[in-house]
A and B are shown apart, each in its own frame.
Chain A
Amino acid sequence: MMKKILISVIMFIAGLFLITGTVYSAENITFHVSPELVKIGIQFNGITLHVSGTIPSDCEAVVRIIGHSQNLNLKKKGKAMGLLWMNLGKIEIKGVPDIMLVYPSKALEQLSKNDKTTWKKLGIGFESLEDTAEVLPESENKSKIFKEFIKLEASIDLYASIPGALTYGDVSGSVKSFKAEIKLPSNVPHDGFKAEVYAVKDGKIAAKDVKAVKVKLIGIPAKISSLAFNHGTLYGVIAVLIAILAGIIVGVVFKESGGAH
């Protein structure tokens, strides 16, 4: 009797799986980020972040770099008196990340173009930010302002969606490997960010995993930054004195070389 019940339960569960599809969790994604600590020294000029790992073979991958949430004050440009373009007041955008780089697989890149509604529902791309962010004052045309905001961030390389940079490798059993080379710009925020990997199946997120990446100033940039933020006045005076000294040195050098006379 017990055996029959057990078989029925197993069959019921198996049936459920067949109806709803396979259920995945973060454990179905394995990935590695290199480096996990981005060091910014005097010669830092951006860095390539290597993200690689495996996702279930029946899923599509998206790698996303996302920074801390911030509130931004912006100036809005518009036409004054129907003729002159200029700043027409300030707006505030709340709850947007300070960096956002999206690396979708080819199939998902196609989806983002062909089925914008499903792509937006996934909540991975810039489009989905519009729903969670707040634009003040509320009387503003949120959608229009948001589009301009994305353009502004893209112009300084902090928001980007890069097609074709995520590639797949071997399929082994139920998993397939992927890798993405992420170009971090030199103006990457100093307070770190998250590297996220999404496994997408049938227009839904099947699994997601996250790793934190730290950013640290080292060497001369660290010393200058610490002086500027902790002892602002002293830093200003030193900056002025060195500037004056440099000006005098150049002047003297030119005098000695017989320059100005």
Chain B
Amino acid sequence: MWNMYLPIAGHSVNILLIFGLGGLVGLLSGIFGVGGGFLMTPLLIMFGIPPTVAAASDSNQIVGASTSGTFAHYRLGNVDFKMGFLLLIGGVAGGTLGVEVIRILRATGNADFLIKITYVLMLGFVGFYMFLESLQGLKKTKAEVVVEEKPKKESTYAKIIGMLPWQIYFDKSRVKLSILMPLILGVFVGILAAIMGVGGGFIMVPVMVYLLRMPMHVVVGTSLFQILFTCVNVTIMQAHSNHTVDFVLALILLIGSSLGAQFGTRISKKLNGDQLKIILASLVLIVMVKMLLGLLLEPAVLVSFVGGH
């Protein structure tokens, strides 16, 4: 009774299961401003959806979830549209460049090895850094509430970005930066996202926090806004070239994930920046460990269909 046939995936699924899966991933998306593709796609493959259909339909559902999330964050005043657009322009350029890079890498034969290693190293580095940094932040807020206010020494990084031309003020993020910064960092994330085959939320969020120095709550809203555009592009491209978008699957997922994203946004509001960062860092580390185990343990079947990660 609860089964539904997915015409593009060519497979029937339990609606409640897929709805629940969407809800869970939407929750994470609303809390942290990440797309959730890193979680959803492997889970869908586990339920028998072909890898190419799982990835493309996931993009389709992220469009819905990130619309809902962006909408909720916009009402809370957490979306920096100016910053978002600049990152997006950089991201599109970087993504195009990244696709070319991956084509060259594939021709040399060792692409998959490089992708996996980049993945593990990036996730490991970002996860550990965020975890330690937010742990210190949490300790500090508990212990040194009164003794703060020492004049902060300006770091070399701050000096360098202060010298770049075309400085403008970003109201929502309350930072003054050169427009080159989001553009260049957008390109960097775009390249990495294309190489790693993910939406980029996991890299974009730390980049916004640490390199653009944006407040965590604005980072989440702005990241969701950017992911929305990236996934609109991917969905249309996949539907046009590969016919791999299963709309029925995406619709069930997105009803679940849109609801999840709303609850996620509420939870996000109740947690402070450091708490958010430490939970996200733990998630990143869990994914990293899972990938590392995948590399170290012998798989059950030694061949796989083309299209998965």
Contact = CB atoms under 8 A, between A and B. Distances in A.
Contacts, number: 189
A261 B303 contact: no
Contact of A221 (B7, B251, B300): B7
A94 B15 CA distance: 36
B239 A247 contact: no
Main secondary structure on chain B at its contact with chain A? helix
B61 interface: yes
Contacts of A235: 239, 245, 247
A19 interface: no
A244 B3 CA distance: 25
B239 A45 contact: no
Given A86-B116, A86-B295, A236-B236, A221 B5 contact: yes
A254 B8 contact: no
Interface of A: 40-46, 72-78, 80, 83-91, 144-145, 148-149, 151-152, 155-156, 186-187, 189-190, 217, 220-222, 224-225, 228-229, 232-233, 235-240, 242-244, 246-248, 250-251, 254-255, 259-261
B241 interface: yes
Nearest to A186: B12
A44 B296 CA distance: 39
A94 to B, nearest CB: 14
Contacts of B61: 243
A21 to B, nearest CB: 42
A74 B305 CA distance: 5
B303 A76 contact: yes
Interface in B254-274: 254-255, 258-259, 261-262, 265-266
Interface in B31-58: 48
A250 B140 CA distance: 38
B151 interface: no
Nearest to B112: A87
Q: What 8 A-B pairs have minimum CB-CB distances, sorted nearest first?
A: A247-B67, A236-B239, A251-B71, A221-B7, A186-B12, A243-B64, A250-B258, A236-B236
Contact of B245 (A44, A239, A244): A239
B60 interface: yes
B157 interface: no
Contact of B251 (A75, A76, A77, A246): A246
B262 to A, nearest CB: 5
Interface residues of B, number: 62
Interface in B211-259: 232, 235-241, 243, 245, 247-248, 250-251, 254-255, 258-259
Interface string B276-309: 0000000000000000001111111111111010
B164 interface: no
Contacts of B162: none
Interface of B: 3-5, 7-8, 10-12, 48, 60-61, 63-69, 71-72, 75-76, 109, 112-113, 116, 232, 235-241, 243, 245, 247-248, 250-251, 254-255, 258-259, 261-262, 265-266, 294-306, 308
Given A243-B60, A246-B258, A251-B262, A152 B305 contact: yes
Contacts of B109: 89
Nearest to A155: B301
B49 to A, nearest CB: 10
Contact of A242 (B75, B251, B305, B308): B251
10 contacts: A41-B5, A75-B304, A186-B12, A187-B10, A239-B235, A242-B251, A243-B61, A243-B64, A243-B235, A247-B64
Nearest to A217: B7
B245 A246 contact: no
B303 A224 contact: no
A78 B302 contact: yes
A120 B24 CA distance: 48
Contacts of A248: 67-68, 71
Given A243-B61, A250-B258, A250-B259, A83 B76 contact: no
B301 to A, nearest CB: 5
Contacts of B5: 40-45, 186, 221
Nearest to B75: A260
Nearest to B68: A247
Contacts of A225: 7-8
